[in-house]
Amino acid sequence: MDYSKSGGAKTGKNTPRHVEHNAKGTTRNPYGERTPKAELLARLKAAAEAKKTQG
């Protein structure tokens, strides 16, 4: 009996089970692009200022 023909179809090898929400190459996380440090510092300062004025 040929057991390879029985049962369900084999799944692809080395494939992820799900898609990450922040996977490389998407609009949220494009390849090779890093936010500049000045932009990051500006966001952090703005968040700190907003937190200070709020509470």
| pLDDT per position as a tens digit, 14-52 | 877 888 887 888 887 778 777 788 989 999 999 999 999
Q: Is the pTM of this model over 0.75?
A: no
Using CA atoms, how far residue 18 sits from 1, 21, 28, in Å, is 35, 9, 17
Residue indicated by tokens 């080395």: 14
Query: What DSSP line would sit under 7-22, residue for residue?
Result: SSPPPPTT--SS--TT
Q: What is the reported pLDDT for 1?
A: 66
Both tokens assigned to 44: 């952090």
